[in-house]
């Protein structure tokens, strides 16, 4: 096969203060090929690619583009070398329309205006089968639309070398398929593509070669056809691992949290959750499956007390919590960790240190007017130790940690307060495989301790092996609650789209799904 080198990195090193993000990295990116960059969270993949897109400048080492030594000092230099990067956090101005976002900036020798941009967007859309309205404002777009816009943007500017940083982390299965189709088209058109992703099945599906980084160091590059999920994981982690998720058996306990006829409105005033019934027992993991944005966020916020339900009851060990404040609910032992799409948005204060984040929920305890940091520090140390958080110290601001480590800190804090119900939404969003398994282990440990876990997830394979029961939401309605051991991915998929509605089928005069037989709520109570 004839493939010429697009970009070659030699011994590239980058440090942030005392943290070595990249050490002596060598990499070869070729035209007409898709290269996967694989590594755990914090292994320096994004930093490396940011040096190609001109966001960071390497401390030492050499970069060659098309065989010539180059110095990429700014994003503009990267543009001039036809390098286009699609960042994990989209680089779009919310207030602008799609066309305005593309028009932005100055580019060599191009006399474009809004009209020509709109025409060109339509051409690109036709060529690759995208659907984007050039006049739509970005703040009205869905995540996948924004990503499509980012891709159109780099194509518009004539990028020959495309770098995609975790493009599938926020996409649905169908959207991912469409993206891969586009990437294959681009590869066929001779473009060089680098894709950063944690999902090993995607790496095996889409890429031609895989380069692996571990803790900022370059490990190896292998041909995808010679690799397996296990071999890649071992190179990434550096030791033998097992890819099975355990589902320990526990004794059935009384229902901890019961939700009865719960109806919730979203910010726009539409119904987000409609007349939902379910319960969580101690010692079980209840999975919640559903297409993104069908009421998961509103459900979490309501249980945590941040949003008041329109109707219905929330009973915690026989006590109604639907009118309690978030603080009172917290004191009842219900903890929530929600990982939003931007991953830093909820639950942690980014500029505060790990220690300060640990005591965020408990600062008001004790009688002294001064903050007791000693306790927080030892808790921070314990979380760092137990969950393997990679950080220079307990006093490092959380925003300086990589995504996975941030999530470990968040979950670690929620667990240390010893809750009896844990609500966790997308806890492994954007996490590498090793960190994900660590989080599954943590949840299983909590389950064994008798905690009830509500696990709002994305990956059906994971939910099928981790959860005891799975509840499927579709447009805010429960399509059914099934035993994870007796269901299939296909059945869940059909329920997610609303094609099967078990709730409707199984409702009888005397029995309603989602109501525990040994409920705390007396009949006639409703």
Partner 1 sequence: MIDSIIQWIQSAVAFGTVIMFGCCGEILTEKSGNLNLGIPGAMYMGGIASLAGAFFYENACLTAGSTPNAILCILIPFLCAFAGGALGGLIFSFLTTTLRANQNVTGLTLTIFGAGLANFFGGSLNKLAGGVGQISISNTSETYRTTVPFVKSTGFFGEIFLSYGFLVYLAIAIAVILSIFLKRTKAGLNLRAVGENPATADAAGINVSKYKYLSTCIGCGIAGLGGLYYVVDYTKGTWNNAGTIETLGWLAVALVIFTTWKPLNAIWGSYLFGFLYWLYLYIGLFGVETTRSTISLIQMLPYLATMLVLILTSIRKKKENQPPESLGLPYFREER
CA dihedral 91, 97, 99, 103 (to 10 degrees): -60
Assigned token pair, 92: 């779009």
CB of 17 to partner 1, least distance (A): 11
Q: Which of 53, 145, 147, 302 binds partner 1 (CB under 8 A)?
A: 53
Residues in 501-520 that interact with partner 1 by CB under 8 A:
none
CB of 323 to partner 1, least distance (A): 26
- The binding track of 56-85 with respect to partner 1, each residue x by CB under 8 A or -, is x-----------------xxx--x-----x
> How are strands ordered across the β-sheet holding 83-86?
68-70, 60-65, 5-16, 19-30, 217-223, 209-214, 33-38, 192-196, 161-165, 83-86
CB of 255 to partner 1, least distance (A): 39
Among 105, 111, 108, 135, residue whose Cα is nearest residue 121: 135
Q: Which of 10, 28, 59, 100 binds partner 1 (CB under 8 A)?
A: 100
91 binds partner 1 (CB under 8 A): yes
Residue number with CB closer to partner 1 (95 or 230): 95
364 binds partner 1 (CB under 8 A): no
92 binds partner 1 (CB under 8 A): yes
Residues in 11-30 that interact with partner 1 by CB under 8 A:
16
Among 110, 109, 133, residue whose Cα is nearest residue 121: 133
DSSP 154-185: HHHTT-SEEEEESTTTT--HHHHHHHHHHHHH
Q: What does the alpha-carbon distance between residue 346 and residue 357 come to, in Å, rounded to a whole number?
A: 12
265 binds partner 1 (CB under 8 A): no
CB of 39 to partner 1, least distance (A): 17
Q: What does the alpha-carbon distance between residue 96 and residue 102 come to, in Å, rounded to a whole number?
A: 10
Q: What does the alpha-carbon distance between residue 298 and residue 267 come to, in Å, rounded to a whole number?
A: 9
Q: Which of 8, 107, 215, 361 binds partner 1 (CB under 8 A)?
A: 107
- The binding track of 366-405 with respect to partner 1, each residue x by CB under 8 A or -, is ---------------------------------xx-----
Instruction: Give every CB contact of residue 241 below 8 A, 6+ residues apart in sequence.
Output: 230, 233, 234, 434, 437
CB of 403 to partner 1, least distance (A): 11
Assigned token pair, 152: 């159109």
Distances (CA, A) of 520 to 496, 516, 517: 30, 9, 9
Residues in 113-142 that interact with partner 1 by CB under 8 A:
113, 137, 139
104 binds partner 1 (CB under 8 A): yes
Assigned token pair, 488: 């299939």
CB of 214 to partner 1, least distance (A): 20
Per CB under 8 A, residues contacting partner 1 are 16, 53, 55-56, 74-76, 79, 85, 87, 91-96, 100-101, 103-107, 113, 137, 139, 399-400
């Amino acid at each position: 096969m004839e493939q010429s080198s697009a970009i070659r990195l030699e011994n590239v090193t980058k440090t942030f203060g005392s943290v070595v993000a990249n050490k002596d990295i060598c990499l070869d990116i070729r035209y007409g090929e898709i290269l996967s960059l694989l590594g755990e969270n914090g292994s320096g993949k994004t930093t490396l690619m940011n040096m190609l897109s001109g966001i960071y400048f390497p401390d030492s080492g050499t970069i060659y583009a098309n065989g010539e030594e180059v110095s990429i000092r700014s994003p503009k230099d990267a543009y001039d070398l036809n390098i286009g990067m699609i960042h994990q956090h989209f680089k779009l101005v919310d207030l602008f329309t799609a066309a305005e976002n593309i028009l932005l900036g100055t580019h060599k020798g191009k006399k474009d205006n809004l009209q020509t941009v709109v025409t060109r967007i339509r051409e690109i859309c036709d060529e690759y089968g995208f659907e984007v309205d050039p006049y739509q404002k970005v703040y009205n777009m869905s995540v996948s639309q924004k990503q499509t816009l980012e891709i159109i943007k780099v194509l518009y500017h004539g990028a020959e070398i495309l770098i995609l940083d975790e493009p599938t982390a926020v996409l649905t299965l169908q959207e991912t398929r469409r993206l891969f189709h586009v990437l294959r088209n681009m590869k066929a058109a001779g473009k060089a593509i680098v894709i950063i992703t944690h999902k090993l099945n995607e790496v095996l599906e889409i890429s031609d070669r895989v380069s692996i980084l571990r803790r900022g160091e370059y490990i190896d590059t292998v041909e995808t056809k010679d690799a397996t999920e296990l071999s890649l994981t071992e190179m990434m982690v550096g030791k033998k691992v097992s890819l099975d998720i355990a589902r320990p058996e526990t004794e059935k306990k009384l229902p901890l949290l019961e939700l009865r006829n719960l109806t919730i409105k979203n910010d726009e005033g539409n119904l987000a959750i409609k007349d939902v019934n379910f319960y969580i027992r101690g010692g079980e993991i209840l999975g919640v499956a559903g297409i993104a944005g069908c009421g998961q966020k509103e459900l979490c916020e309501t249980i945590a007390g941040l949003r008041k339900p329109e109707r219905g009851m929330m009973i915690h060990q026989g006590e109604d919590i639907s009118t309690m404040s978030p603080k009172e609910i917290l004191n009842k032992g219900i903890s929530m960790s929600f990982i939003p799409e931007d991953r830093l948005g909820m639950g942690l204060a980014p500029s505060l240190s790990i220690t300060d984040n640990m005591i965020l929920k408990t600062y008001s305890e004790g009688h002294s007017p001064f903050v007791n940091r000693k306790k927080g520090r030892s808790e921070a140390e314990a979380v760092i130790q137990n969950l393997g958080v990679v950080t220079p110290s307990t006093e490092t601001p959380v925003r300086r940690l990589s995504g996975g480590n941030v999530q470990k800190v968040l979950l670690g804090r929620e667990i240390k307060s010893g809750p009896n119900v844990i609500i966790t939404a997308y806890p492994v969003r954007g996490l590498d495989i090793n960190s994900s398994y660590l989080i599954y282990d943590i949840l299983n440990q909590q389950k064994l301790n008798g905690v009830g876990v509500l696990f709002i997830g994305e990956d059906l394979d994971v939910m099928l092996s981790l959860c005891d029961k799975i509840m499927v939401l579709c447009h805010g309605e429960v399509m059914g609650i099934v035993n994870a051991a007796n269901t299939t991915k296909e059945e869940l998929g059909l329920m997610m789209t609303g094609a099967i509605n078990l709730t409707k089928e199984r409702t009888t005069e005397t029995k309603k799904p989602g109501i525990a037989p040994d409920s705390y709520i007396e009949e006639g109570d409703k």
